[in-house]
Amino acid sequence: MYNFSPRHPALASIHVQISGHLSHGSPWNGEDFSIVRRTRKLPSSKMSATQSEFDLGVSGGPPFGIGEYAFADAGNLEHCTKYLNQTLVTFGFPASLDLFAVDPVSIARTCNCIYSLLQQRQRDIEFRESSNEQRQRLQSDISRLEAKVERLEAQLASKDRELATLTRMEAKNTAALKAQIEKLQQERDEFQRMVIGNQQVRTQQIHETKKKEKEYIKLQERLNQVLMEKKKESRSGMEIMNLLQKEGRQRGTWNGKKADSDFYKMIVDAYEVKKQELMAENADLRALLRSMQMDMRDFLNAPNGLSQQTAVNEKQEAGSPQSPLGGRTDVFDLPFHMARDQIEESLRTKMASIKARMIQLQDAQKGAELTSEATERELELEAQLVEARSIIQEQASIMSKHLTKSEKPRRLSSHLDAEREVIHSASAEVCKALSS
3-state secondary structure 248-300: HHHCCCCCCHHHHHHHHHHHHHHHHHHHHHHHHHHHHHHHHHHHHHHHHHHHH
Sign, CA dihedral 99-104-105-110, equals positive
Per-position pLDDT tens, the chain of length 436: 333 333 344 444 444 444 444 333 333 333 333 333 333 333 344 344 334 333 433 334 444 344 455 777 878 878 888 888 888 888 877 666 777 777 888 788 888 888 888 888 999 999 999 999 999 999 999 999 999 999 999 999 999 999 999 999 999 999 999 999 999 999 999 999 999 988 898 888 898 888 888 888 888 888 888 888 877 776 665 555 555 555 544 455 545 556 667 777 788 888 888 888 888 888 888 788 788 778 777 777 766 544 444 444 544 444 444 443 333 446 666 766 677 778 778 778 877 888 887 888 888 877 776 776 667 777 777 777 788 777 877 777 777 776 666 554 444 445 455 555 655 555 555 455 445 4
Q: What is the enclosing helix (H) or strand (E) of 130? A: helix 104-250
Q: What is the enclosing helix (H) or strand (E) of 114? A: helix 104-250
**Of 333, 291, 304, 104, which Cα lies nearest the Cα of 199?**
304
**Of 237, 125, 159, 183, which Cα lies nearest the Cα of 404?**
159
Question: pLDDT value at position 243?
Answer: 54
Rg of the chain, C-alpha, whole Å: 66
Question: pLDDT value at position 157?
Answer: 95
What are the extents of the domains in the chain? 9-151
Judged on CB neighbours under 10 Å (0-12, 13-18, 19+), 388 is middle
Question: pLDDT value at position 420?
Answer: 55
